[in-house]
Structure 1
Amino acid sequence: MGEIRGEVCKKVTDGTHNPPPNSGEGKQVISAINIKNNKIDFSLSNRFVTDEQFEKEDKRTEIRRGDVLLTVVGTLGAATVVETDKQFTAQRSLAILKPMIVNYYLLNVVESPMFNIQINNNAKGTTQKGIYLKKLTKLLIPLPPLKEQSRIAAKIAELFALLRKVESSNQQYDKFKKILRSKVLDLAMRGKLVEQNPDDEPASVLLEKIKTEKAELVKEGKIKKSKSLPEITDEKYIDISKDKIASRARQVLDENDILFSLVRPYLKNIAMVPENSNYKVGSTGFYVLKPFSKLNKNYIFYLVLSTYVISSMTKLMKGDNSPSIRKSDLQDLAVPIPPLKRTRENSSKG
């Protein structure tokens, strides 16, 4: 183990504690907010000093390619290796480490949980924690031979590159999955997803069963009587029923209910209540769909996720700060209802 100053770094300093007024041009001044994902993002700040002020500050900090910058105020322990010859200086929230060891090995060590514990244990402050240079320079890091440091840094870089590749693949997979699901639902709505079977029970029969179930629920007082369903033609369209949606401030949830967020529908904040869950009450910010038992719940779930439903609702949004739709917008939307057997086939392919 070696101390930061003397055994690991030949020089440790921090940025200016009293930055001069922003000159608007000249050399840039960065701080902890500019350190993101092990890189310096110069676009995140817009503070500059004159060339004369820079020369004065640079005599103390001497930030050069290969140095390690470490955040020491506010966000503690974020770091990067300077990979540019651009001239710039820093504020007090950054420490500048000039390593005598492999700089990328030092980068990985100062971002490790072991080092992070040391920083936080020695940090001071309430609203904004910081670690003073005197404490920082006494912190310890493991010191293997230089060749081993290089091998460790190279292996970590290799693994991180692989991780980024996996993350990119997952993002592409998620995007493809959404496109595929939308396409499948589009084909299902047009009757082109599965082969049409003339022996299938027609949708009109399914709708008659739904009417019967609805009448029973009205008789039992579980739902209120509403307007008659529109006449069903060969297009096989039906209104989404609103009868089982609670009008109270909180909505009682049952297993397999479908929650559709009324705020920014394009974000697709839609979910199905899982079986055997403890979710019993829903916020009024959601429209709660309770499909009739004769309908395939998974089909309805994928249907409300479809481009047709989402784009229809997005067009009806109102408001600036929190654009939303009304419950009636979703209640009045006509959607395709194929025969029950076909809804099962379509949902299994969704």
Structure 2
Amino acid sequence: MASNRHSRAGGNLVSTLTTDNLITDHIDVWTSAIKKRNSQGRGSSKKIELTGIKKLREFILDLAVRGKLVPQNSNDESASILLKKMAKEKAQLIADKKIKKQKPLPPITDADIPLGLPSSWECSRMGKLAQYQKGYAFKSKDYLDNGLMITKIQNLTDNHTRNSVYITPEKKMEFEPFILREGDIVMTTVGSWFSAPMSAVGRSFLINNQFDNSLLNQNAVRIRTQEGIIPKYLYLCVNSTIFKSYLVEEAQGTANQASITQVSIKNYLICIPPLAEQHRIVAKVDELMALCDQLEQQTEQGLTAQQTLVEALLKALTQCVNADDFQASWQRIADHFDVLFTTEASIEQLKQTILQLAVMGKLVPQNPFDEPASKLLEKIAEEKAQLLADKKIKKQKPLPAITDEGKLFELPSGWSLTRLDDICFGITSGSTPPKDKFNESTGVPYLKVYNIKDQAIAFDYKPQFVDIQHHKNKLTRSILYPGDVVMNIVGPPLGKIAIIPDDYPEWNCNQAIVFFRPIEGRLNGYIYTYLTSGKFLDSIELIGTAGQDNISVTKSRSIIFPMPPLAEQHRIVAKVDELMALCEQLKTRLSDAQTTQLHLADAVVENALKNS
């Protein structure tokens, strides 16, 4: 191999970056760089990603495989001598027909060797450092409940042998080439692209004792290092961002699935330290990863504790019994507002509490001069009776009278309890027309549950229109008008609410959506606010199968509605809008701050790499 010594670091004891100080001096950077997960991986319930600590782990591995993590020692036997010994041993194994002679690997040129590589290190193609064996496609008809275990990628992903499958031990000799040993590396060769790390192609696992003497299943390759290469060191190499970047270039496949060949894996250029330094690197990485584990645990515990505190303080706010108690509870929050509301979850909890306070009459003061809700209910009842008499609406089956059990909280002065059915035109859901009545651009806009997003109509997502004649003749029961309040009645999640906008004069919807059209049109804003708070779900009986909660149309009609005076409703809606806008500003500032923290973490890593 051509050498490139002039560009390599030399010296008796090469000074390296003090990674311990890099971690401790920038703890706030690593622990503050957090972002929301776009999707959760298999077996993970975490909604956030500690991105700073993730970057720190990647940085440690990259330093390790570039010879920048631990100092070199001139007394170490150089990697060039180590590789010559390994080549000699391999040649003997081939001569003894214990292993097969492999195809030649691409030569290494001076241009291939990374700049700054320590003088005691050497470069090699990965194919020269290990033996490779792809997994076997075992047939399900041969599976047993016990015997010789077959190791699937899912077993390695979850690091347990539960739900394992087996074959008869008598076949051990037949499948000897596929046996795993402790210290083997297993790499997935088929999987998704790199946005889904739990199933991504090129994901590697270091076999521990619980998978020792098991058989490797398909879609993976076993990598067994030769003596002279510590398995854990090679494992660090294939988990570095350097190797992952190589995989991105080498992987092939479709939009949904990627694959990597053994040839690509074997061609990967790997930097080899002396054997003694491999041991030092592995030990140092273990030490630093343990420190990262501690940082991660402390950060997660801190976030959990913060969220628990936020929930407790906000809950206390909704349970106050008088104005003095409310003021004291609010003051406890206000004094530490900038510390409490520093995550998206805490801001969402604040928004939900604002809604709870709003519909309990605790957000704005009552005004004794407001016309009480009872007067408005009398007027609505008279109007509804006239609509029935004029046969403009149909008479519905009577609902039970509201008892004291229907009270969700103590009503403020001037409020009254009613049911939504008492103040609305006929409450019903939509239906689904035949497929030939739909098109993508003309007709009447037709809503599905996915068109309700962030408590508003999002018709730009998968818009559908229904034939206007079918809408007028067959779907009259579910015609929607601007100002109607709609709610999904099939979940999860329940509680998706929206007000129909005036983008179109008429709309329609499917059977998973129910709508409320108040007889007094000015009630729609507060009905929306009340439903958005989710308070009604505390007393409604849900129906449905496992994993799916439904609300029947009858239950929707039966929703008990604590109704404030109309003037107070307007004050509540205005205050909620004002506070929700402030919460959105808070979320925007939080997002900007998180972006800054992520950039700062990148900058710290980049600067450290330049100076290493």
CA distance in 2, matches of 1:212, 1:60: 82
- The 1:80/1:274 distance shift into structure 2, 3 A limit, reads farther
Query: C-alpha separation between the residues in 1 aligned to 2:148 and 2:352?
Result: 51
8 Å contact 1:239–1:334 — kept in the other structure? Answer: yes
Structure 1 residue aligned with 2:552: 326
Task: Identify if the C-alpha distance between structure 1 residues 308 and 114 changes in structure 2 by more than 3 Å, giving closer, same or farther.
Answer: same
Task: Give the aligned partner of residue 416 of structure 2.
Answer: 236
CA distance in 2, matches of 1:341, 1:104: 67
Report the CA distance between 1:207 and its aligned residue: 4.2
Could you tell me whether the CA contact under 8 Å between 1:258 and 1:290 is conserved in 2?
A: yes
Tell me which amino acid in the other structure corresponds to 1:64. Answer: E
Residue 80 of structure 1 aligns with an amino acid whose one-letter code is S
Structure 2 Cα separation of the partners of residues 209 and 139 of structure 1: 83
For residues 29 and 78 of structure 1, the distance between their equivalents in structure 2, rounded to whole angstroms, comes to 20
How far 1:26 sits from its partner (Å)?
4.2
Q: Which has the higher helix share?
A: 2
Judging changes above 3 Å, is the alpha-carbon distance between structure 1 residues 49 and 275 closer, same or farther for their aligned structure 2 residues?
Answer: same
1:294 maps to which residue? 522
Q: Alignment partner of 1:12: what SS?
A: strand
Q: 1:69 matched to which residue of 2?
A: 186
Change (3 A) 1:71 1:33: same
| Aligned mates of 1:41, 1:345 — CA distance in 2 | 57
Q: 1:273 Cα shift?
A: 5.0
- Which structure 2 residues correspond to residues 172-251 of structure 1 after superposition, within 5 A? 185=355, 187-207=357-377, 224-225=392-393, 236-240=416-420, 241-243=424-426, 249=432, 251=478
Choose from 16, 32, 40 the match for 2:136: 16
Q: Distance in 2 between matches of 1:248 and 1:242?
A: 18
Report the secondary structure of 1:70's partner residue: strand
2:188–2:220 contact (8 Å) kept in structure 1:
yes
Selected match of 1:92 from 188, 213, 218:
218
Please say if residues 224 and 243 of structure 1, whose CA atoms lie closer than 8 Å, have aligned partners that are also in contact.
no
Gapped runs of 5+ residues in structure 2?
A: 1-111, 113-122, 193-199, 308-342, 403-412, 433-445, 447-477, 581-612
- Contact 1:73/1:93, CA 8 A, preserved across alignment: yes
Is 2:235 the partner of 1:103?
yes
What TM-score, normalized to structure 1? 0.66
What is the CA-CA distance between 1:317 and the residue it aligns to? Answer: 1.4
* Deviation (angstroms), 1:225: 3.2
SS at the partner of 1:11? strand
1:95-117 Cα deviation digits (max 9, x unpaired): 12346554234124598465145
Shift of 1:236: 0.6
CA distance, structure 1, for counterparts of residue 376 and residue 243 of structure 2: 61
Q: Report how far residue 287 of structure 1 moved.
A: 0.8
**TM, length-normalised to structure 2:** 0.42
Q: 1:149-207, CA deviations, whole angstroms, 9 ceiling, x for partnerless residues?
A: 9999979x969x87x968x9599566656666665555555444544332334223554
Of 81, 98, 101 in structure 1, the residue corresponding to residue 205 of structure 2 is 81
Q: What is aligned with 1:340?
A: 566
CA shift, 1:74, in A, is: 5.5
How far apart, in 2, do the equivalents of 1:108 and 1:224 lie?
71
Residues in 2 aligned to 1:17 and 1:3: alpha-carbon distance in whole angstroms: 31
Deviations 1:182-235 (A, max 9, x none): 65555555444544332334223554676799799x69x9x9335599999966
Equivalent position of 2:510 in the other structure: 283
The counterpart of 1:118, out of the listed 226, 234, 250, is 250
Could you tell me whether the CA contact under 8 Å between 1:109 and 1:115 is conserved in 2? no
Relative to structure 1, the CA distance from residue 239 to residue 26 in structure 2 (aligned partners, 3 Å threshold; closer, same or farther) is same
Do 1:296 and 1:344's aligned partners in 2 also have CA atoms closer than 8 Å? no
- Give the total of aligned pairs: 332
Stretches of structure 1 lacking an aligned partner (at least 5 in a row): none
CA distance in 1, matches of 2:554, 2:565: 26
Cα distance in 2, alignment partners of residues 113 and 211 from structure 1: 70
CA RMSD of aligned residues (A): 5.3
Task: Tell me if the contact between 1:209 and 1:294 (Cα under 8 Å) persists in the aligned partners.
Answer: no
Where 1:343 maps in the other structure, the secondary structure is: helix
Q: What is the distance in 1 between the residues matched to 2:366 and 2:359?
A: 12
Task: Give distance in 1, aligned partners of 2:497 and 2:479.
Answer: 15
Please say if residues 430 and 508 of structure 2, whose CA atoms lie closer than 8 Å, have aligned partners that are also in contact. no
Residue 263 of structure 1: which of 479, 482, 490 is its match? 490
Q: 1:192 to 1:128 in 2, by over 3 A?
A: closer
Structure 1 vs Structure 2: percent identity of aligned residues?
Answer: 18
Does 2:218 align with 1:48?
no
Q: Aligned-pair distance for 1:28?
A: 2.8
Structure 1 contact 237–335 (Cα < 8 Å) conserved: yes
Report SS of the residue matched to 2:555: helix
Kindly provide the amino acid, as one letter, of the partner of residue 21 in structure 1.
Answer: D
Distance (Å, rounded) in 2 between the aligned partners of 1:277 and 1:11: 65
Check the 8 A contact 2:486/2:500 in 1, yes or no: no
Q: Work out the CA distance in 2 between the residues paired with 1:269 and 1:78.
A: 41
Q: Give the whole-Å Cα distance in 2 for the aligned partners of 1:183 and 1:210.
A: 30
